[in-house]
Amino acid sequence: MVVHLYGVTTPDTKPPPEVKGRQDGELRLVADDRLAVIVSDVDPDAPAARKDLLAHAHVLEAYAEEATVIPMQFGIALPDDDIVREQVLEQDPESLADLLRSFDGLVQLTVQAFHHEEAALREVLRRRPDLVAARERMRSFPEAATQARQVELGQAVAEALEDLQEEDRLMLLDDLAPLTRAVAENDTGGAHEILHAAFLVEREARPAFDEAVAELRRAHEERMRIRYVGPQPPYSFLEPMRSGELTWD
Amino acid sequence: MGLITGLLTLPLAPVRGVVWVAEQVKQEADRQWSDPATIQAELADIEAMRESGELDEQEADAREEELLQRLLAASPEQSQSLNPWAGVDDA
Amino acid sequence: MTVTQSRSSNRYIERPAPSSLADVINTILDKGLVIDIYIRVSLVGIELLTIDARIVIASVDTYLRFAEAVNRLDLTETETSGIPELMENITSSGAKGKTTGALEGAKEKLSGILPGGDEDEEEKEERPRRSSSSRSGSSRSSSSSSKQPSRSRPARKSSARQKRTEEG
């Protein structure tokens, strides 16, 4: 067996009830008086599968409900607790303590938004009667609907759709960002994803943020789907914190 | 790379059975990637279908597992990273 | 008997969800502490990978598909200005989830070096605070804006956009 590492927290952190680690293992802390590493024993020969990746993430999220936790990347394991102590607790405790202090009282909440394709197109057409007219012209006079004209229409629609995506993205951010300490946007991927943002939120502000997301869902469900994930350790804010991009008093 | 700087950079005392993959092999593995873009997109799709109910939990789990294994199959080094200690004799 | 409308009764539905496998692999996997002594041959391809699906490849093919998708929409009214409600009421022909696929196919293509549009340049700039971009017109500042640095965003659009002229 080896020791799988989840993240670093304060030694007084209570383990979340009924949460198990990878391979259904018991979670425990390897701690000194300032820092604690969340670990569990794992069999290194068991093939890693989706449940391992998910267990790692969900353990961290369970801790994040109540505690500040600095996540370790998936895949870090050490032979035993002594080496954990040596390599994590004793290497650079100041940096770790600083990170814990910086993120004290904060959690990450992630929001994604996706356009419903057809509704988005309809909105585009609603705003652009010229595009509807162009479409109608091509339908009425198919001989004149050359490929060039179709390309032109398609391009115009594409651009208008991009504008709508951008507008909606900003609308969502304008609504949510004021409730938060910081925002970090990820690249959007996949079809019609218009927003993928990590928000750093004070714990006391969570209910208000929840409410704001719910309200956005209600108000815009026609045109978009909103995914809401968390609470998470501050994944997207570690690097900015370390590099100095993220500062507050 | 890591957030903890200044740590010991020498490898651990050798642990039996662990294969440390050299940088060159890693780069070769990277080149051999079989379109992780597709896999990432498919994972996102599966989640969306799970949420909409188009896929039931079992089916979604199974597909995710399949995708993950595909990802891992693309390069043995990736399996290595999920199981860096595979093959370690009991310490 | 009093029935109180309690906001908290909705809390359960409004709770955020745990991460999905997609979240872990697509977003989270490369984030977090590592320790140097352990040589991590990680899932590097995933780390490197970012799909900006809003990249619209400036190709004939892509735009044809947009035209096609627009063509397929069932609009019973051709006059759209002034009667948006009517448009809204037009039911879609299929389940919302079943997209035509034409647009999605186009958007999933990765592109290489992207021709920068004019707006793209300023969007690439790292903004110390997240404020509305110039495109939205008015600039607003949130009360805690001084505490809201944002990371730089990747360039969003690559299509070489021609000047749009609105046809009356």
Query: What's the pLDDT score for residue A1?
Result: 85
Q: What is the average per-residue pLDDT within A62-81?
A: 92
Q: Using a CB–CB cutoff of 8 Å, tell me whether B68 touches chain A.
A: yes
> Where do we find the tokens 């100041």?
A94
Of residues A196, A232, A248, nearest to C19 (C-beta): A232
Q: Using a CB–CB cutoff of 8 Å, tell me whether B35 touches chain A.
A: no
**CA-based nearest distance C99→chain A, Å:** 7
pLDDT tens by residue, A108-149: 999 999 999 999 999 999 999 999 999 998 888 888 778 888
Least confident of A92-96, B39-43, B55-59, C150-154: C150-154
Of residues C34, C46, C108, nearest to B41 (C-beta): C108
Of residues C67, C68, C164, nearest to A159 (C-beta): C164
Q: What is the ipTM of this complex?
A: 0.92
Q: Using a CB–CB cutoff of 8 Å, tell me whether B19 touches chain A.
A: no
Mutation site, A45, A221, A224, interface B, largest B CB count within 10 A = A45
Q: Which residues from A are below 8 Å from B87, CB to CB? A: 44-45
Verify whether the Cβ–Cβ distance A44 to B88 is below 8 Å. yes
Query: What's the pLDDT score for residue B85?
Result: 56
SS3 C161: coil
Bridge partners (DSSP) listed for residue A147? none
Least confident of A116-125, B14-23, C14-23: B14-23
pLDDT of residue B5 exceeding 90:
no
pLDDT tens by residue, C68-84: 888 888 776 444 443 33
**CA-based nearest distance C37→chain B, Å:** 5
pLDDT of residue B18 exceeding 50:
no
Verify whether the Cβ–Cβ distance B77 to C21 is below 8 Å. no
Q: Using a CB–CB cutoff of 8 Å, tell me whether A229 touches chain B.
A: no
CA C105, CA C56: separation in Å to the nearest integer?
11
Q: Using a CB–CB cutoff of 8 Å, tell me whether A243 touches chain B.
A: no
Of residues C15, C16, C70, nearest to A157 (C-beta): C70
- Assess contact for C16 and A230: CB atoms under 8 A: yes
DSSP string, chain A: -EEEEEEEE-TTPPPPTT---GGGPPPEEEE-SS-EEEEEEE-TTSPP-HHHHHHHHHHHHHHHTTS-EEEBPTT-EESSHHHHIIIIITT-HHHHHHHHHHTTTEEEEEEEEEE-HHHHHHHHHHH-HHHHHHHHHHHH-GGG--HHHHHHHHHHHHHHHHHHHHHHHHHHHHHHGGGSSEEEEPPP-STTEEEEEEEEEEGGGHHHHHHHHHHHHHHHTTTEEEEEEEEE--GGGHHHHHHTSS---
Q: Using a CB–CB cutoff of 8 Å, tell me whether B84 touches chain C.
A: yes
- Assess contact for C150 and A184: CB atoms under 8 A: yes
Q: What is the average per-residue pLDDT within B53-77?
A: 85
Query: What's the pLDDT score for residue B12?
Result: 40
Verify whether the Cβ–Cβ distance C40 to A187 is below 8 Å. no
Chains that touch A (3 or more CB pairs under 8 A): B, C
Verify whether the Cβ–Cβ distance A45 to B87 is below 8 Å. yes
pLDDT tens by residue, A170-187: 999 999 999 999 999 988
pLDDT of residue A206 exceeding 70:
yes
Verify whether the Cβ–Cβ distance B85 to A2 is below 8 Å. yes
Q: Which residues from B are below 8 Å from A52, CB to CB? A: 82
Verify whether the Cβ–Cβ distance C43 to B81 is below 8 Å. yes
Q: Which residues from C are below 8 Å from B77, CB to CB? A: 41
Q: Which residues from B are below 8 Å from A91, CB to CB? A: 4, 6-8
Verify whether the Cβ–Cβ distance B43 to C41 is below 8 Å. no
Q: If pLDDT is split at 50, 70 and 90, which confidence band does C104 have?
A: very low
Instruction: Please tell me which residue, A56 or C42, carries the higher pLDDT value.
Output: A56
Verify whether the Cβ–Cβ distance B85 to A44 is below 8 Å. yes
Bridge partners (DSSP) listed for residue A36? A9, A31
> Where do we find the tokens 């690097």?
A239
Verify whether the Cβ–Cβ distance B82 to A77 is below 8 Å. no
Of residues B44, B45, B81, nearest to A75 (C-beta): B81
Q: Which residues from A are below 8 Å from C100, CB to CB? A: 117
pTM above the 0.80 mark? no
Helix (H) and strand (E) counts in chain B: 4, 0
- Assess contact for B50 and B60: CB atoms under 8 A: yes
Q: If pLDDT is split at 50, 70 and 90, which confidence band does C120 have?
A: very low
A22: tokens are 């990878």
Q: Using a CB–CB cutoff of 8 Å, tell me whether A109 touches chain C.
A: yes
Verify whether the Cβ–Cβ distance C150 to A121 is below 8 Å. no
Q: Which residues from C are below 8 Å from A247, CB to CB? A: 149
CA C39, CA A46: separation in Å to the nearest integer?
20
Instruction: Please tell me which residue, A76 or C21, carries the higher pLDDT value.
Output: C21
Least confident of B21-25, C121-125, C131-135, C151-155: C131-135
Pairing label, strands A36-42, A77-78: unpaired
Verify whether the Cβ–Cβ distance C38 to B29 is below 8 Å. no
Q: What is the average per-residue pLDDT within B19-43?
A: 59
- Assess contact for C19 and A61: CB atoms under 8 A: yes
> C53 phi and psi, to 5 degrees?
-75, -5
pLDDT of residue C109 exceeding 60:
no
CA B5, CA A236: separation in Å to the nearest integer?
19
Mutation site, B5, B33, B59, interface C, largest C CB count within 10 A = B33
Query: What's the pLDDT score for residue A246?
Result: 77
